[in-house]
Amino acid sequence: MNVSTRHEITLTVNGKTETRTVESRTTAADFLRDDLRLTGTHLGCEHGVCGACTIIVGEASMRSCLMFAVQLDGTTITTVEGLAQNGKMTVLQESFREHHALQCGFCTAGFLTTATAFLKETPDPTADEVREALSGNICRCTGYIPIVEAVLDAARTIKAAKG
Amino acid sequence: MKPPPFAYFAPRSLDEAVKLIDEHQDDGKLLSGGQSFVPVLSLRLASPATIIDLNRVEGLGGASEMPDGGLRVRGLTRHREIELSPLVARLNPLLTGTMPHVAHVQIRNRGTTGGSCSHADPAAEMPAIALTCDADFVLTSVTGERVVPAGEFFQGVFTTALEANEILTEIRYPAWPKGRRWGFEEMARRRGDFAIVGSAVLVDFDEAGRCGAAKITIFGAGDIPLRIAEAEEMLVAKGLTPETMREAGRITSAAIEPRDDLHASADYRRDVSAVMVRRALEQTASPLRTGVAA
Amino acid sequence: MSSHKSHDIGAGTAPLIGRSLQRVEDARFVTGTGTFIDDMKVENMVHALVVRSPHAHARIGAIDTTELLAHPGIIDVFTTADIAEYAAEIPLRLAPLVGYERYLQRPFAVDKVLYVGDPVAVIVADSRYIAEDAQDLLMIDYEILPAVTDVHASAKNESILNEKAGTNVAFSYRVSEGDIEAAFAAADYTRKESFYCHRHSGVPLETRGMIASYDATATDHKLKVWGATKVPWFNRRALAKMLRMEEADIRFVETDVGGAFGIRGEFYPEDFLIPFATMRVKRPVKWIEDRREHLMAANHSREMECDLEIALSKDGDFLGLRGVFRADMGAYARTNGGVPPAKAAQFAPGPYRVGAVQMDVAGLMTNKTPIGTYRGPGRYEVNFFRERLLDLAAADLGISPVALRMKNLIPADMMPYTTGKLCPYEEPVQYDQGDYPGTLAKIAEAFDFDRMKAKVEACGQKNGKRQGVGLAVFVESGGAGPSETARIEVTPTGKIEVFTGVTAQGQGHETVLAQICSDGMGGVPFGDISIFHGDTDKLEWGFGTYHGRGVTVGGSAILLTARKLAAQLVAMAARRTNLGIEELELKDGAIRKKGAAPGEPPVMTLEALAASADDPAELKAVEKFAPANRTYTSGAHAAHVEVDVETGKVEVLRYLIVEDVGRCINPALVHGQAIGGAVQGIGATFLDELVYDAEGQLLTGSFADYLMATSNEFPEIEAITLETSLSTLNPLGAKGAGEGGIVGAGGALANAVSHALGPLGVNVTSLPLNPNNVLRMIRQATPRQAAE
């Protein structure tokens, strides 16, 4: 229990352990962006609607603008920067490129994190399930159709690779 | 849009939590999922001096079966856990069936059922379901527990029976009787938005297939979710027919006092309330809406 | 980030124009390594917050900054008195409508605030958190005045926004072509309807923002501004003038930009205030607009009324069209705010031969956020007005909607075709070429429109639902504005660097411009080409991206420059090798003998050529492309909808866009523009709306209230791109492809919903088509009929 407004937290971000002191009111999103300089997580509204700031906490996608950094203490999180491994993009990231599933790229991190968590839970989704899963993320450029295609195609590719 | 400063406590036990909120009841706020509360802070609509975070309290989450077959859902249970729980699906399929209408997956992964009910947004689904099911709310403070029925818990827009030093620790849904069917219909601008207006219903059919009991809730149509007793009694008296389902809708329209807002006029809500109630009742014709959710 | 290396696509040789290459931009965006403005940190940087008026219309009284300045972490605050010396008006960039200039905005409100969101002060603090903590300590007295919140109240002039102007009517003019009185006198059929298009805007997912830093002792650039976009050179000029600095002392740098849609990158009050702040505090200053601010501060668009009247012969010949436009301009004249009403009037005849046209246009000031352009400015609005009226006329005359339009579309053999001078500040419009009837025929066939129409009519009402189909046909301009410049250089390692004045907000310019450059230089490998954009230091003069000019004008400049440089390099190689110019060519990235066998070593590599240069000028070329006229695409939208008559909710069952865009540089990207534009336009027709109450308070100040399309709402959208008629106005043959997806949405959907609900007596004349409005229309049309 800590009475003060500053707290030391330790968490694992993209496989790396980080210990920092944070103010209690610092949002998880601002902490990632400003303290850890993981600026791939974007802020589109700061009130929990647009989904651009989505990160994966444990296995679940969550909005980092609606959490405080102090609440990340002891967690394992993944941001968009942690999706590719050793410089190799994930199937989903490649699929976004192939399907032209992004234009300005500002919302993309949130879609990728949301869809990554979703595909883990639902490896063989229908188009309706994909649309439903992505409905908490706003994209102003693409009209969503190529994003849905990219996620469906990634699911097929992952499934085929697993044989 | 940044939150104001506050002192932060993250109690590990319920005992510790109730002491803290008792101590800080004048200027403190509880934080559970935060999916409605953090935006309130970021928009600076509230500036509590102290925030007591319930997320690390042991034993405050999870669903379990009560000895009488009822469903106990602890306050910190995430929406997503309820949505995916086979136990919940078995004991209260209405709850399971409603979950996909609650916001979006990222919100459901973090948001809690206790938080949603304590927040008491008149257009939210969870309060409406609790009311429909005649659930009991367990409120805990330093002086112990008290149990408040759903019908008395919701008192106004964002206003509940919770005292400033109490925590909503548990919601108890009574056992689901044999022969019960459910319906849920809502009108939202987009999937996942708060309802403009919505309805949840339960109909208990006796062995002869007659309506033995009905529970009809309308939400988004007033300051709090409302049960429409007159319509419930009418259905028991006259049985469920296309005509009585329409009549239940008409009774609902007449019983509510909706307001205008940005998304719809009072007239709209009055009209569409009738449609929501009728459609929710129509769903109970389907055998899929019995014991276990489809 | 202005430079990113193109990826080698390893996909053979030229031509690259016309191929759906993967975008080079995407690698950084999918890995989270792009650099948007808020991703940048500059050493010693502090944070600005713009304090905005909470009132729609009020006189500013005493301002007390004492308490605010005493708050820990607050570095500075300044208000209108502090900038008085520099407080020039922000100039118009486009659409100089006479009278409108009286309402130009200054960086801070002077004497009065005129809308909720009007800037009144800037706070500079150690962090944004602290600035927000302290902002309520700034004491400003306001004397509240009556708010003007619609065009009718505005026209009464009872509460005047700008007392010096003495009227709320900012401009009022008539444009006409042909004898309108005679046309209507001769008509067998006339119909007049009053339409309303609702206020909404582009709302890019990234809000505006910038970082400014100032060093008076610097020898190159004293003032640096990151976060510029759209028209950096114009904005730099405007800022230099306001600050009384030399343009050369200011550098604007574009970062990655999270969408713009017309509303971002214009010169706003903050574009003065933040550079001014950095000069005051002598530290770099960052300002990132928050979402609430964005919805009240960035340009709004679209809101206008139109009384439109059509005159037809009994056979359906389009004899005349006259209209009265009343545009709600908001509180001030913004840089391009005159465009939406002016273009609505100019595009009123659309792709049709109309005997006579007369449009009366008035811009009325209200205590609301000022208007600017949003993707397809004026077109979305007027295509709704005109196409809706055409459907009404078709129904009245018993002619099919397709046949009535087909009969009146400008035939290809009448091209080029002028609709006359329908915009006071422009020359008469000339549609260069195009097969407008062919485009309509294509959509009618692909959508099976006539059969679908009969089918849904036969279906009637089922389970409380009714279906309908609707069409909207449009013509859309592109390639506007002054010349664009390009400079291309060969680096010492033989790579190609392209410097362009075009800016990028998500369209994929780094990819398509490299495709163009590659083809212009005989197939230089795509991966060897780097595109540098949006940096005023890299190019002496450029202009920017808007109104479909990125490719048509900027791309053409690159193509001309690439060809010029290629010729220059061949000549240079000829001199080095003593071979004849006519024997050599630049092919696949090296100087080769014409007709050389595949695999034959080149005469000189570009690296060797670069090493041999005596003068760096040999290795670069600069060229301009000035469009002689605008390009015009033609297209159509078709919609199939189902309306729940009990709730007013509309489902889009199918949506199809056909547009003839001329040359398509990258078909995947053009398709993306069409689909993305369509979802914006469909979403806007049902969801997006900026709503004010009677006191002028913005009720839609968050994403909980300003609703946009999500992945669940409109899944069934298709787009067909035609390259039937290549533009002859630029060397690429391109016409611009960013706006066709959006401009027909309001019209097609209003027609489809009206078709569905026609038997109930519904005639859609106002937007948006949200459930509340649709159900109200049903109720008003059939007041006593219960909808159960």
Instruction: Show the domain range for C634.
Output: 378-413+432-479+630-781
What are the boundaries of each domain within chain B? Answer: 7-54, 67-172, 180-285
C538, C640: one domain: no
Give the pLDDT confidence score for residue C399 in this predicted structure: 96
Strand C189-197 and strand C112-113: pairing? Answer: unpaired
Does a cis peptide bond (omega within 30 degrees of 0) precede residue C768? yes
For residue A14, the SS3 value is coil
- CATH C-level class of B67-172: alpha beta
CA gap C593, C610 in Å, rounded: 18
Distance, in Å, from the CA atom of C361 to the CA atom of C276, rounded to the nearest integer, reads 37
Are C384 and C448 in a shared domain? yes
pLDDT of residue A3: 52
Strand order through the sheet with C529-533? C3-5, C529-533, C496-500, C484-490, C620-625
CATH code at B180-285: 3.30.390.50
Q: Which of C435, C332, C360 has its CA nearest to residue C662?
A: C435
Residue A2's φ and ψ, nearest 5 degrees, are -125, 125
First to last CA, chain B: 42
Residue C172 inside a domain? The answer is no
Can you read off the two tokens belonging to residue C544?
């920017």
β-sheet with B63-65: strand ranges across: B63-65, B71-74, B167-173, B136-141, B144-149
> Which tokens in the block code for residue C48?
């600005």
d(CA C725, CA C748): 24
Count structural domains, chain C: 2
CA distance linking residue B105 with residue B155, whole number of Å? 29
> Complex ipTM, two decimals?
0.97
Indicate if C642 and C777 belong to the same structural domain: yes
Query: Token digits for B39?
Result: 């935006």
Name residue, tokens 């004008």.
Answer: C553
With an 8 Å Cβ cutoff, is C687 touching chain B? Answer: yes
Residues C63, A5: Cα–Cα separation, whole Å = 33
Per-residue DSSP letters for C231-242?
Answer: -HHHHHHHHHHH
Nearest by CB: B6 against A1, A24, A60? A24
A94 touches chain B (CB under 8 A): no
With beta carbons less than 8 A apart as the criterion, state whether C698 and C117 touch.
yes
Residues C550 and C637 grouped into a single domain: no
pLDDT exceeds cutoff 50 at B292: no
The nearest alpha carbon in chain C to A80 belongs to C32
- C531 and C611 both lie in a single domain: yes
Nearest Cα residue to C487 out of C350, C362, C621: C621
Contact C677, C741 (CB under 8 A): yes
Give chain B's mean pLDDT.
96
Contact across the interface for B263 and C770, Cβ inside 8 Å: yes
pLDDT greater than 90 at residue B122: yes
Q: What is the 3-state secondary structure (H, E, C) of B36-105?
A: CHHHHHHCCCCCCCEEEEHHHCCCCCCEEECCCCCEEEECCCEHHHHHHCHHHHHHCHHHHHHHHHCCCH
- For B152, phi then psi, to 5°, come to -110, -10
Q: What are residue C361's phi and psi, to 5 degrees?
A: -125, 130
Domain end marker among C604, C625, C646: C625
CA of C341 to nearest chain B CA: how many angstroms apart? 27
Per the DSSP assignment, residues forming a β-bridge with B52 are B9, B30
CB B58 within 8 A of CB B74: no
Is residue C402 within a helix (H) or strand (E), and if so which, with residue range? Answer: helix C401-408
C500 and C597 inside one domain: yes
Is C186 within the bounds of a domain? Answer: no
Instruction: Give B212-236 pLDDT, tens digit per residue.
Output: 999 999 999 999 999 999 999 999 9
Q: What pLDDT is attached to residue C219? A: 86
* C634 and C776 share one domain: yes
Subunits with 3+ C-beta pairs closer than 8 A to B: A, C
Residues forming beta bridges with residue C199, ordered by sequence position: none
Is C488 within the bounds of a domain?
A: yes
At residue C200, the 3 state secondary structure works out as: strand
Q: Do B267 and C776 make contact, defined as CB atoms within 8 angstroms?
A: yes
Q: Which residue of B has its CA nearest to A22?
A: B8
Q: What is the pLDDT of residue C481?
A: 80
Half-sphere exposure of C374 (CA within 13 A, CB side): 24
Q: Which residues pair with B187 in a beta bridge?
A: B197
Cα–Cα distances in angstroms (integers) from residue C327 to residues C95, C310, C341, C743, in the given order: 14, 20, 6, 18
Residue C677 lies in a domain: yes
Assess if residue C11 is contained within a domain.
yes
Query: Which tens digits make up the pLDDT trace of B38-58?
Result: 999 999 999 999 999 999 999
Q: Which CA distances in Å does C665 have to C514, C549, C552?
A: 10, 13, 10
Collapse the DSSP code of C252 into the 3-class scheme (helix H, G, I; strand E, B; otherwise coil) and give the result.
strand
Nearest CB to B262; choose among C292, C700, C776 = C700
Among chain B, residues having any CB pair with chain A shorter than 8 Å are 1-12, 16, 34-35, 38-39, 41-43, 51, 53, 55, 80, 100, 103-107, 109-110, 190-192
Residues of chain C with pLDDT under 50: 1-12, 783-788
Is residue C355 in a domain?
no
Statement to judge: residues C521 and C549 lie in one domain: yes
Does C567 fall in a domain? yes
Per-residue pLDDT tens digits for A57-98: 999 999 999 999 999 999 999 999 999 999 999 999 999 999
SS3 breakdown of chain C: % helix, strand, coil, rounded to 5?
Answer: 30, 25, 40
pLDDT value for B16: 98
ω into residue C15 within 30 of 0, thus cis? yes
Among C129, C772, C775, the residue with its CB nearest the CB of B2 is: C129
Kindly state the percentage of chain A with pLDDT values over 70: 98
Q: Are C531 and C551 in contact (CB under 8 A)?
A: no
Enclosing H/E stretch for B172: strand B167-173
In whole angstroms, give the CA distance from residue B254 to residue B238: 19
- Asked if residue C171 belongs to a domain, the reply is no
**Alpha-helical segments (H) within C117-221:** 128-134, 151-156, 180-186
| pTM greater than 0.90 (yes/no) | yes
Looking at the structure, tell me whether residues C472 and C490 fall in a common domain: no
* DSSP at A35: I
Q: Which helix (H) or strand (E) holds C318?
A: strand C318-330
- Domains and their CATH numbers in chain A: 6-80 (3.10.20.30), 91-162 (1.10.150.120)
Of C345, C338, C331, which Cα lies nearest the Cα of C92? C338
Contact B106 A65 (CB under 8 A): no
CATH number at residue C643: 3.30.365.10
The count of CB pairs under 8 A between chains A and C is 174
Q: Which residues of B touch C290 (CB under 8 A)?
A: 1
Torsion of CA C182, C187, C190, C196, to 10 degrees: -50
Q: How far is CA B182 from CA A40, B86, B94, B200, B288, in A?
A: 44, 17, 6, 8, 9
- Tell me the percentage of chain A whose pLDDT exceeds 90: 96
CA distance A14 to C45: 28
Q: Tell me the two tokens of residue C89.
A: 């008006």
**AA identity, residue C490:** V
Shortest CA gap B111–chain A (Å): 10
Count, in order, helices (H) and strands (E) of chain B.
12, 14
User: End of a domain among C610, C625, C640?
Assistant: C625
| 3-state secondary structure at position C47 | strand
pLDDT tens-digit map of C270-282? 999 999 999 999 9
Among C647, C685, C708, C776, most B C-beta atoms within 10 A, so best to mutate, is C647
Domain-terminating residue out of C587, C609, C625 = C625
CA nearest to C667, candidates C22, C11, C5, C30: C22
Q: What is the 3-state secondary structure (H, E, C) of C21-44?
A: CCCCCHHHHHCCCCCEHHHCCCCC
CB within 8 Å: A97 and C27: yes
**CA–CA dist B37, B46 (Å, integer):** 9
At residue C13, the pLDDT reads 59
Taking an 8 Å cut-off on Cβ atoms, the answer to whether B34 and A66 are in contact is yes
CA–CA gap between residue C428 and residue B11 (Å, rounded): 73
**Strand C650-660 to strand C717-722: parallel, antiparallel, or no bridges (unpaired)?**
parallel
Q: Are strands A6-13 and A16-23 parallel, antiparallel or unpaired?
A: antiparallel
Residue C5's pLDDT is what? 28
Q: Are residues C461 and C602 in the same domain?
A: no
What gap in Å lies between CA B31 and CA B7, rounded to an integer? Answer: 12
pLDDT at C598: 86
SS3 per residue for B215-240: EEEEECCCCCCEECHHHHHHHHHHCC
Give the CATH number of domain B7-54; options: 3.30.43.10, 3.40.640.10, 3.90.1660.10, 3.40.50.720.
Answer: 3.30.43.10
AA letter at B268: Y
Contact check, Cβ <8 Å, A132/B110: no
* Per-residue H/E/C for C90-144: CCCCCCCCCCHHHHECCCCCCCEECCCCCEEEEEEECCHHHHHHHHHHCEEEEEE
B92 token code pair: 């209260």
Contact C637, C471 (CB under 8 A): yes
Give residue B285's pLDDT band: very low, low, confident or very high (50, 70, 90): confident
